[in-house]
A = this chain, B = another copy of it.
Amino acid sequence: MKLKFKNVEGAVIAAQGFRTAGVFCDIKRLGTGKGSNKGPKRDLTLIVSDVPCSVAGMFTTNQICAAPVKVCVSRVAKGIAQAVVVNSGNANACTGKQGMKDALAMVRLTEKTLGLKDGYALVGSTGRIGVTMPMEQVNSGIVAVAPLLGNSADHAAQAVEAIMTSDTRPKQIAIEFKLGGKTVRLGGMCKGAGMIQPGMSATGARPAALPAGLHATMLGFITTDAAIEAKVLQLALREAVAHSFNRITVDGDMSTNDTVLVLANGLAGNATIKSAKHKDFATFAAALQHACLELAKMIVRDGEGVHRVVTVRVAGAKSVGDADAAARAIANSALVKTSWHGGDPNWGRIIDALGYSAATIVENKVDIGYSTPGSRKVLWSLRRGQPTKATFKELCAATAPKEFDLHIRLNLGKGEALMYAADLTEAYVDYNKGDVTDPTTLGG
């Protein structure tokens, strides 16, 4: 289904009945010891609905799972929520029992401050791993932000700033569409930049089907005024994440904190979507997936030190699992990624990565080519394992743009997969090596 959505302003408060704000409460400074952290200062935000919402979530499948993720997994399972408190500067990961106490203290103070029912607040955290949360600051932040909540574009800008870490720009979207004659809005924001290769599931449990090698913190918060039951919302989110956030990689490292939450408050007044068979389900699901995909691509484009974005499109694999393994091997190969940085159409490194991937590859069946994003006009460098007559200059021209598509055909079956991938640059290394004499430069 190809649907058109109207873009609107307001991001995470574009839908009716949502308010937000963001403050600086000193978590970023304290997260690493001294001085000012990189990036913007705001470090705590609340997203609040006027009424209780259906809620769905997808969470990191990393076995080392942050306390806020654990809190969300158990609360989202109940299907109802009304607010999310999010901080940057500290991931509250690997913080043991104290971390769980702190995450629970955050949701409880949020509920108390906003006058919500017990269990109606969720929590997200991003930042350095292994540092106990500075709860005095966090608590003062929650109390300080509550009276500031509003639904202007400026409020949305405060919120997205507060979730940024190494992000260089805000990532937000909002769209408007019709459900059964009613105007519905869906908006959201996310952050990413490093430690990015999400592999999320609904419970944080690792599905057997997930590639063993799966590997930022990415946080995504989506709100809508659509009326949809929580179980159906979860179905839509699972599918949307499978085709968006779970298809991106910056550095191949899967975070301890990856989280996507959707809150649907029903204020649009559409007939409630109670099953995947409902006449409006497909439209809603498509809208959600569109928003997730646009947000996911923003994460790759703004990945740490990223200069080029490459969409790796694998087709003709023996199975979908093989296609996924092939696409991830290419998307995470240090040699392939550095060649992209150099604008070098080095198909030798690409076929090498295919060869060591878990996918079945037959050398004399492999096609490798390049196109502009989304185009079917492919310049092939390799056909059936043989170099084509495309010249080095022509191939360089195809890999020179800031964004291009890489087409792989294995010609062994019908398995397809794609990955939104990034190059590997000196800037990524420089950012992530940090400077131990100034711990504020050290990332998550």
Question: Which residues of A are in contact with B by a Cβ distance under 8 Å?
Answer: 33, 61-65, 91, 93-94, 96, 128-130, 194-195, 199, 211-215, 251-256, 325, 329, 333-335, 338-339, 341-344, 346-349, 351-356, 358, 360-364, 382, 385-387, 392, 396, 424-426, 428-430, 432-436, 439, 442-444
B215/A432 in contact, CB under 8 A: no
A128 to B252, CA, bound (A): 25
A274 to B211, CA, bound (A): 44
> Which chain B residue has the least Cβ–Cβ distance from A423?
B433
Q: Which residues of B contact A65 (CB under 8 A)?
A: 355, 363
Decide if A426 touches B430 in the complex (CB within 8 Å): yes
- What residues of chain B lie closer than 8 Å to A255, measured between beta carbons? 352
Contact (Cβ within 8 A) B363 A64 = yes
- Jot down 24 A-B pairs with beta carbons below 8 A, ordered by A: A61-B356, A62-B352, A64-B352, A93-B352, A94-B348, A94-B351, A96-B364, A129-B348, A129-B352, A130-B348, A199-B356, A212-B212, A212-B358, A215-B356, A253-B335, A256-B352, A334-B432, A335-B432, A338-B432, A339-B432, A343-B436, A344-B442, A346-B442, A392-B439
Question: Is B429 in contact with A425, judged by CB distance below 8 angstroms?
Answer: yes
Q: Give Cα A268 to B339, complex, Å.
A: 48
A424 to B333, CA, bound (A): 13
Additional 6 contacts, C-beta under 8 A, given A61-B356, A63-B355, A64-B351: A94-B351, A96-B386, A129-B351, A130-B382, A212-B212, A338-B429
Q: Is the CB of A433 within 8 A of B341?
A: yes
Contact with A334, one of B256, B329, B424 (Cβ below 8 angstroms): B424
How long is the Cα–Cα vector from A94 to B335 in the complex, in angstroms?
Answer: 17
Q: Which residues of B contact A211 (CB under 8 A)?
A: 212
| Shortest Cβ gap from A349 to chain B (Å) | 7
CA distance A252 to B363 in the complex (A): 21
Name the contact of A93 in the complex, choosing from B252, B348, B353, B428 (C-beta under 8 A).
Answer: B348
- CB–CB B442/A356 < 8 A: no
> Are B64 and A433 neighbours in the complex by a CB distance under 8 Å?
no
* Contact call A360/B63, Cβ cutoff below 8 A: yes
- In angstroms, Cα B356 to Cα A91, docked, is 17
Nearest B residue to A195, CB-CB: B335
CA distance A424 to B248 in the complex (A): 22
Inside 8 A of A63's CB, which chain B residues have their CB? Answer: 354-356, 360-363
A98 to chain B, nearest CB (A): 10
List of B residues within 8 angstroms of A335 by Cβ: 194-195, 251, 253, 432, 443
A195 proximity list for chain B (CB < 8 A): 335, 349, 352
What residues on B are CB-neighbors of A444 within 8 Å? 348-349
Query: A125 to nearest B CB, angstroms?
Result: 13
With a cutoff of 8 Å between Cβ atoms, the chain B residues found around residue A129 in the complex are 348-349, 351-352
